[in-house]
Amino acid sequence: MSDPTHSQSEEQGPLSLWDAISLVIGIVIGSTIYKTPGTIGSNVSDPWTMLGLWALCGGLSFVGALCYAELATTYSRSGGEYNYLTRAFGPWAGFLFGWSQLAIIQTGSIGALSYVFAEYAAEVFQAPKSSVVWFALGAVVGLTLLNMLGVHAGRHTQKLLVLAKLLGLLMLIVAGLTSRAEVSLVATTPVSGPGWPLAMILVLYAYGGWNDAAFVTAEVRNRSRNIPLALLSGLGLISVVYLLVNLAYLRTLGFEGLRQSQRPAADALSAVLGEHAGRAMSLLVMVSALGGLNGLILAVSRVHAAVGADHALFAYLGRWSARTKTPVWSLLAQGLITVVMILAVGTRDGRGLIDGGLQQVGLKPIPWDQYFGGFDTLFAASAPIFWLFFLSTGVAYFVLRVIDRNRQRPFKAPWFPLCPLLFCGMSAFGLYSAVNYAAPLLPLIAIPFLAGLPLYWISRLLGKPTAEPII
């Protein structure tokens, strides 16, 4: 096989339990907890509803992680949902998933997270607003090159970034919960957005990314034990951290103050410790975003490599470096597409090209002001396809329980069929809400998504891939 990790035994693999946990934490706690709590608060009537949504979505994500722990330990090849969908529905489903990850979902997520880093970097270094796009590009290019140097460079960087992130969050929690600021938890203005459905989808997005640990299954040592532990312990810790951080926001800013804040972490520390502390928090948000970026770049490249190993059209993506043990072409392609996305939504020329292309085929231009460009545009554009495949994976879980009923399952999700039913319900809600939120962007999303079908047909005509590791 072109993927050197595919044949590794249960005891082998470069990634330890802590590596896997740091991957989960690094990807999940990326930026949303620092950016969207004000928007979430604006869409609910009181702080207790807001905290309840954070607890509920943490529980739903934990249920989903139980299902993924079973799938990841039963089907141990790297690639996550690509393998489950291929096994359940056929190669076309896996190909469409892998293509969508490369063309829309994960490259969009990487781009969105790079904008969070860039916005805070521009503020910390007092750079002009026009520099944001260049900070975003620098983060993506730099971390892609770092991961191309080898899996050990990527995993050690990930652990350092996660440690810095957790220390920063601990500082925020302690400062917030010990604050003596006299603030009100009573709402003085009505809900100013679509309401709790948008709030819930934003909270679910804050928990998103835990499933990406399944992308590197084959590279985790003792995966039958460590994959479930990484998913479940990582999500448990994240849920507690999220609740404590939101309590810290409420203690320092009050409910209305939180609703009005675009940078709640920096504003909360500034309120307690002064302006310089708020600046330090902005620096820690940059580190946190880099941790999420690095985790995504490392994990998601394995999906593209798995697609390349099976489909001739993308055979080059399945080539691994014999020296660095990384899917170098997959990392390169992922980085290039993300760079194009950043330039497309983050520059006036890029937005003009998109609008001109849509108008050429009789479609309306994108209402860029509605999504503010950068993070919000890439988040909204990638969300519908993300939730579509999340729901498809929930359905695949049931199919695989039937067609592989005699297959050994080192870990089984409890309370069958309750867990997968709850996961499917959460995914269906996420899909419905994401489609409503991203309605003006759907033509832009549909074009690359549907392009995957003729690409699959072309790949079938090309026959079997012959990719080998690069020497």
- pLDDT score of 52: 95
Whole-angstrom CA distances from 69 to 40, 113, 389 are 29, 26, 17
398-426 residues labelled b (16+ CB within 10 A) or e (exposed): eebbeeeeeeebbbebeeeeebbebbbeb
- pLDDT score of 355: 87
Which segments in the chain show pLDDT lower than 50?
1-7, 467, 469-471
Rounded to two decimals, the pTM is 0.84
**Spatial contact of 145 and 301, defined as CB atoms under 8 Å apart:** no
**Spatial contact of 113 and 31, defined as CB atoms under 8 Å apart:** yes
DSSP letters for 32-56: HHHHSHHHHHHTSSSHHHHHHHHHH
- pLDDT score of 367: 83
Handedness of CA 330, 333, 337, 340 (dihedral sign): positive
Residue 286 is encoded by which pair of tokens? Answer: 């940059």
Cα–Cα distance between 349 and 369 in angstroms, integer? 15
Residue 208 is encoded by which pair of tokens? Answer: 């998103």
pLDDT tens digits for range 255-293: 999 998 888 888 888 888 877 777 777 787 888 788 778
Cα–Cα distance between 230 and 23 in angstroms, integer? 9
Cα–Cα distance between 219 and 356 in angstroms, integer? 44
- pLDDT score of 30: 67
pLDDT tens digits for range 389-441: 999 999 999 999 999 999 999 999 998 999 999 999 999 998 998 898 888 88
Q: Which domains does the chain have, with CATH numbers?
A: 17-462 (1.20.1740.10)
The three-class DSSP label of residue 16 is coil
The torsion of the CA quartet 15, 19, 21, 27, rounded to 10 degrees, works out to -100
- pLDDT score of 9: 53
- pLDDT score of 67: 93
Closest alpha carbon to 430 in 386, 463, 393, 365:
386
| Phi, psi for residue 220 in degrees, rounded to 5 | -100, 130
DSSP secondary structure code for residue 131 in this structure:
G
Cα–Cα distance between 347 and 130 in angstroms, integer? 9
- pLDDT score of 10: 54
**Spatial contact of 387 and 431, defined as CB atoms under 8 Å apart:** yes
| Phi, psi for residue 367 in degrees, rounded to 5 | -80, 80
- pLDDT score of 362: 84
Looking at the DSSP bridge assignments, the partners of residue 155 are: none
**Spatial contact of 425 and 390, defined as CB atoms under 8 Å apart:** no
